[in-house]
Amino acid sequence: MLYSPCIQPGSLPSCGQTTGQSYADEDADEVATGWEPIGEACICRPGLLLHRTDHTLCVPKEKCACTDTQGIPRAEGEEWQPPSCPCCVMHCLSNGSLLVTHQACPTPTSTSCPPERFLVAQVSPGSCCPHYVCVCKPCMRRPMVCTPGHFLRILPASPNHCCSRYVCGKTCVFCNDSPCVFTPRILTTL
């Protein structure tokens, strides 16, 4: 803004007001007498307009079309995402109104998952559209009981298998002259 020592109040060009239109015009007594005081004020640089009469923000004329919900001047046809709604797109229309639309999300490329998995939509913070991932179903298998002479082998979960798998394997049991007693054991392989 620039300082001007002599200016008529209300004669500052602003958005929504043409140059030379005066606030004094709204007061019939002042218009009738032709008296308008002259004072000092800050004015916008050439080529800029006062955004709002109650603020000191100067903007180019094209930014006078709309004012967003945060008081920011916007040009006709301008689109933006308000910080309070990451899924919204605001549009400044030619009549000065704001149009709110929601971002269109792409459809998932694949809706099927391998066995033991199911599809889940996940939305990251600050993101609007979900991304889809296959996650493991809860493991419901219980360890099996192996017959005498066999041991329980646990195969850990892997990228191809969500749950641990259980297999009975053969074990060597040595018996001397004493009675043979089998003690089952669990063997974990990594």
Alpha carbons within 13 angstroms on the beta-carbon side of residue 144 total 15
Residue 87 has pLDDT above 60, yes or no: yes
When comparing pLDDT for 186 and 168, which is higher? Answer: 168
| E strand residue ranges, the chain | 2-7, 39-43, 48-50, 58-60, 66-67, 73-74, 79-80, 88-92, 98-102, 117-122, 131-136, 150-155, 165-170, 186-188
Residue 187 has pLDDT above 90, yes or no: no
Q: What is the CA radius of gyration of the chain?
A: 38
Whole-model pTM: value is: 0.47
Kindly give, in sequence order, each residue whose CB lies less than 8 Å from that of residue 36, ignoring residues fewer than 6 positions away. Answer: 8, 9, 22, 24, 30
pLDDT for 20: 39
Residue with tokens 């079309």: 65
Summarised one tens digit per residue, pLDDT across range 19-68 is: 433 333 344 344 434 445 556 667 788 888 888 877 788 889 899 899 88
pLDDT class for 145, splitting at 50, 70, 90?
A: confident
pLDDT for 101: 92
Neighbouring CB atoms inside 10 A of 182's CB total 13
pLDDT for 19: 41
**Among 18-22, 89-93, 169-173, the least confident range:** 18-22
Summarised one tens digit per residue, pLDDT across range 105-137 is: 888 777 788 888 888 888 887 778 888 888 888
pLDDT average, residue stretch 138-155 = 81
Q: Map out the domains of the chain as residue ranges.
A: 1-64, 65-104, 105-137, 150-188
Residue 90 has pLDDT above 60, yes or no: yes
